[in-house]
Structure 1
Amino acid sequence: MRHDRLSLEDLELVRAIGASGSLSGAVRLLEVDHSSAFRRLAAIEARAGAALFRRSRRGYTPTEAGELVIVAAQRMLSDAEHLARQLAGQDERAEGRIRITIPDTLATVAARLCADFRRAHPALSCDLIVANAFSTLQQRDADVALRASAAPPEGLSAKRLATIATAAYAARGAGDRSPIPGGDWVGFDEALAHLSSARWLQQHVPAARIAMRVNSLPAALAACQAGLGRALLPCYYADEAKGLKRLSDALPDVRTELWFATHPDLRRSAKVRLLREFAVDWMARELG
């Protein structure tokens, strides 16, 4: 019996179900309709001539046939994504769209950068994608990542754009005038333990003085605005926020670098190269 071929979209669905362990998880990963995904999986299994998953209350478990398809899907989709990046990297046209992934704290800065870039290069448009991981570049969900980290990201082509200054802040009406590092503080949980600001707090502020722990910089800023305690925040981010006052100069031992990162396959792309050169000059003016 001849089996109909599975498309890359079919393989993408099977891979997502295998990765998440459920159809609902795959739907969230792929951002597709649940009923459509359910029907597609049934059609895929009919074409394959075998059940690919065992259904239970605990989720979807791959059958032996499903394991074979998942392994093949990972290999084929990886090859397809690699080919797409290589083709995009050969694009010599300085036109079209550039997808930029950014952390949430960089939204305002990145929007201003893109506005100035668009005025200078009207044939190019930028899409901003808020995400806090570099994995979007590997999966081709984005062309460029702007990220703050102490060292350049491994496996990516990266250019340093600026050094990010960090200072101590408090709510504008806060009455505590004790010198730093005195007073109550907003701390960070394990998700942000890698930050230099988290290490500074650990070294200088007793645990009893941490009034709240958060897992994001926007949450730290909001807690600081609410008067829960002092916070270490990037100056480009907190200086523009309402209701805060800066308590210190930039702390020399709490600093990080801002990187322009892209997949190595895209480093020669004309539009990526144009944005990188523009961003280097722009960031030197705005954050330097």
Structure 2
Amino acid sequence: MSGTAVKDWNNLHYALAVARAGTLSGAALELEVSHSTVLRRIDALEKALKTRLFIRHPRGYVPTEAGQILMSAAENMQDQLDLLVGKMQGVDEALHGTLIITTVNTLIPQLMPIVRGFQAENSQVRLHLVADQRHLRLEHGEAHIGIRPGAKPTEPDYVVQPAISLQNTLYASDEYVRECGPLNSRDDLSGHRFIAPIKAYDFIPSLDWIARQVPEEQIVFRCNEFSGFEDAARNGVGIAALHSWCAETRPGLRRMLEPPREWRTNLWLVTHRDMHRTRKVQLFLEWIKRELALLPPEIGVQP
């Protein structure tokens, strides 16, 4: 087997689970992933090695001769890995090192008190907070914990937990209200100016509503950064759809509409299965869940 034949060593982990369980469904249950994920991993490994590893029978999967050789090597690798993990867990219990957290830039100000509180209680841990609209790849170590608003992440091998459901509604400045008057309902659009993103965000209900319901001539400002919506609204440019967690803590913004239930955005806590049980990750997850549960209902509700 050449050194480049297996690009994703995690595929061996899936193959070993299939060999032990004898079925895709048994391996999927053990690994806590879907049946299709296991099948995809096995197919990818066989394609990379250019050989058949399992004989498919109606009642299960039986390793071929090549599969038996590979499974024996994988067993040895697993034993060595278990020994290494045991040693690393002992290091982890000391609760030191770096914890990398990733989220979107608009949530940084809101998360900062939570992050600071955690660090005050766990001063040995160095925290890195990375703001990026791109979903950093946890499986490559780009981050340890993702705090993601929007659709539920579906990447294989990720552990995804609901954190809170954030309220969203429309906000503008006092100056804007004095100039253009209040917004009485979502049908009361005449005479109002709106702020919108440059590209479509149909997976964010409040922004999708603006894209579908507000006439183009009333959208007077567009921005490619969510933080720009807030700045524009505070400066009287127009009405913006914002997370209430952001807007309610900012001076100079007035709520124009009670938050519609269908505009809520789920906030997810995401980890990779290989890091999920480490002590510092578990401590931070427990900390942020507890802190988010204390938010008032006008900002977020429990999912």
| Both structures adopt the same fold (TM-score exceeding 0.5) | yes
Kindly provide the CA deviation profile for residues 204-226 of structure 1, in whole angstroms up to 9, marking residues without a partner as x: 32222211222221011112122
Q: Please, what TM-score do these two structures have when normalized by structure 2?
A: 0.62
Quote how far apart the aligned CAs of 1:242 are. 2.7
Rounded to whole Å, the distance in 1 between the matches of 2:137 and 2:126 is 19
Residue in 2 aligned with 1:161? Answer: 163
Selected match of 1:176 from 180, 192, 212: 180
Rounded to whole Å, the distance in 2 between the matches of 1:272 and 1:102 is 15
Rounded to whole Å, the distance in 1 between the matches of 2:252 and 2:244 is 14
Rounded to whole Å, the distance in 2 between the matches of 1:118 and 1:173 is 39
Unaligned runs of 5+ in 1: 1-82
Question: Per the alignment, in what secondary structure is the counterpart of residue 201 of structure 1?
Answer: helix
Residue in 2 aligned with 1:135? Answer: 136
Amino acid in the other structure paired with 2:252: G
Query: Is this contact kept in 1: 2:103–2:147, CA < 8 A?
Result: yes
Rounded to whole Å, the distance in 1 between the matches of 2:227 and 2:289 is 25
Query: Is this contact kept in 2: 1:100–1:126, CA < 8 A?
Result: yes
Amino acid in the other structure paired with 2:173: A
Residue in 1 aligned with 2:54? Answer: none
Question: Per the alignment, in what secondary structure is the counterpart of residue 158 of structure 1?
Answer: strand
Query: Is this contact kept in 2: 1:212–1:228, CA < 8 A?
Result: yes
1:190 aligns with 2:199: yes
Query: Aligned pair in 2 of structure 1 residues 271, 176: CA closer, same or farther (>3 Å)?
Result: same
Query: Is this contact kept in 1: 2:202–2:208, CA < 8 A?
Result: yes
Rounded to whole Å, the distance in 2 between the matches of 1:179 and 1:250 is 13
Quote how far apart the aligned CAs of 1:200 are. 1.5
Residue in 2 aligned with 1:151? Answer: 152
Selected match of 1:239 from 248, 253, 271: 248
Residue in 2 aligned with 1:11? Answer: none
Once superposed, what is the RMSD of the aligned Cα atoms?
2.3
Query: Is this contact kept in 2: 1:89–1:267, CA < 8 A?
Result: no
Moved more, 131-140 or 227-236: 131-140
Residue in 2 aligned with 1:13? Answer: none
Question: Per the alignment, in what secondary structure is the counterpart of residue 265 of structure 1?
Answer: coil
Query: Is this contact kept in 2: 1:160–1:260, CA < 8 A?
Result: yes
Query: Aligned pair in 2 of structure 1 residues 279, 248: CA closer, same or farther (>3 Å)?
Result: same
Moved more, 176-185 or 265-274: 176-185
Rounded to whole Å, the distance in 2 between the matches of 1:171 and 1:239 is 12
Amino acid in the other structure paired with 1:188: P
Among all aligned residue pairs of Structure 1 and Structure 2, give the percentage whose two residues are the same amino acid: 23
Q: Please, what TM-score do these two structures have when normalized by structure 1?
A: 0.65
Rounded to whole Å, the distance in 1 between the matches of 2:258 and 2:87 is 42
Rounded to whole Å, the distance in 2 between the matches of 1:89 and 1:248 is 55
Kindly provide the CA deviation profile for residues 53-112 of structure 1, in whole angstroms up to 9, marking residues without a partner as x: xxxxxxxxxxxxxxxxxxxxxxxxxxxxxx9xx969953423322111111111112211
State how many pairs are aligned. 204
Query: Aligned pair in 2 of structure 1 residues 97, 172: CA closer, same or farther (>3 Å)?
Result: same
Unaligned runs of 5+ in 2: 1-80
Query: Is this contact kept in 1: 2:230–2:240, CA < 8 A?
Result: yes
Moved more, 242-251 or 267-276: 242-251
Query: Aligned pair in 2 of structure 1 residues 273, 89: CA closer, same or farther (>3 Å)?
Result: farther
Residue in 2 aligned with 1:12? Answer: none
Residue in 2 aligned with 1:264? Answer: 273
Residue in 1 aligned with 2:257? Answer: 248
Rounded to whole Å, the distance in 2 between the matches of 1:89 and 1:250 is 50
